[in-house]
Amino acid sequence: MTRLTNSPSDEPTFCLPKLTYFRGRVALYSILQALGIGSGDEVATQAFTCLAVPEGIMATGARPLFIDITGDGFNLDARDLEQKLDARTKAIVVQHTFGIPADIQRILKVAEKWGLPVIEDCCHTLASKIDGQRVGTFGAAAFYSYEWGKPIVAGLGGSATANHPELFERLEKEHQSLGNPGLLPQLKLEAQYLAYWALYRPQWYWTLRRLFHRSSKIGLAKGNYNAIPEEGNGASHDFRWGMAPRFRRRLFRALGHVEQHASHARQVVEQYQAGVDSPHVTHPLINDGDEAVFARYPLRVPDKPRLLANASQQGIELAEWYNTPIHPLTQRNAEQVNYQADSCPHAEQRAAEVVSLPTHRRVTRRYIGRAVELLQEAA
């Protein structure tokens, strides 16, 4: 594996991506491939994440090394990272969970000490900043996602950037070998996207969620997760594809409105913060100098299962993710991706207590009022 230093960029705004992929996890996979990571290696990444991240790591033949999150937050703990790193670790994936910037400077110091590249997981945010510098510009590389539930939805897709010229050249060369999804997958995804925009409203969240899961099981819709890669069996077909031209064009149009999306998210969050006022509900902490542009607004609550049941009955969008340290895997299934029970206690605690509210542009004042009322009553 080639060692590359992390090369912070002074790029002030989010630019149109040159390298697009079928999914965000495919972008991560490509970055790891370009770094020469493969069988026998480990990649450090936080628990309190979704299966997509270890899926991208395991597609290379490497194994995830799970790091706990901070005791009062949602992002990787630099102290636990340093304690768990060993000679097999070849890279660090840093997730900016929900759009909250990770403690990137402390993580970069640990990475420099061990000579490891940092890959920023920016799937939850395009606009969050640390001391005025946009996330995704601190490490060696970054990847993004444009699927359902993300700040920008293109139907399906991801992208990668590299702040190191040599790494970008390798990514670009590898990207040329990717094909396009077949006609049938493209038509299925297009129908899924059109249905999403025609039907999706916060008040219909639970009904559409159930329909989506049922459709995924019978193959009518593309699900969020693939089967866990098994050693020697290789990755799914997803990892051979770039983003289809139709989705790429849609993505580029949508990325022209990043700041409008961010502005709306900020206004929505301000109303959540003003409306939900209870000692039993904990709002997220943001480090001084950081600006969080939330994909979803997380709250730590008492009796999470009861609150979700009430939200479902009342037709109020309230997401459970992450419901487990490696969502949606149960404790038993999590062992298949190298997660050991009790190894990340803060992540396990967070999964038991966190719900999240939407911040997208279909969130209205009326919805905010209903969501605030639900949370106040629960508290």
Average pLDDT of the residues in 128-154:
96
> Any idea which of 73-87, 205-219, 240-254 has the lowest mean pLDDT?
205-219
- How, if at all, do strands 89-95 and 42-46 pair? parallel
For tokens 């450090």, the residue is: 44
Parts of the chain belonging to CATH 3.40.640.10: 19-175
Band the pLDDT of 148: cuts 50, 70, 90. confident
What pLDDT is stored for residue 16 in this prediction? 85
Tens digit of each residue's pLDDT (9 = 90 or more) over 194-236:
988 888 888 889 888 888 878 877 777 776 766 665 544 456 8
pTM of the entire predicted model: 0.94
Average pLDDT, the chain: 92
Is the model more confident about 341 or about 155? 341
CATH number of 258-378: 3.90.1150.10
CATH architecture of 19-175: 3-Layer(aba) Sandwich (3.40)
For residue 225, report the phi and psi dihedrals to the nearest 5 degrees.
-135, 145
Burial 265-291, CB ≥16 within 10 A → b, else e? beebbebbeeebeeeebbebeebeebb
Parts of the chain belonging to CATH 3.90.1150.10: 258-378
CA distances, 36 to each of 2, 7, 62, 171, 236 (Å): 6, 18, 11, 11, 20
Nearest to 339 by CA among 40, 57, 33, 143: 57
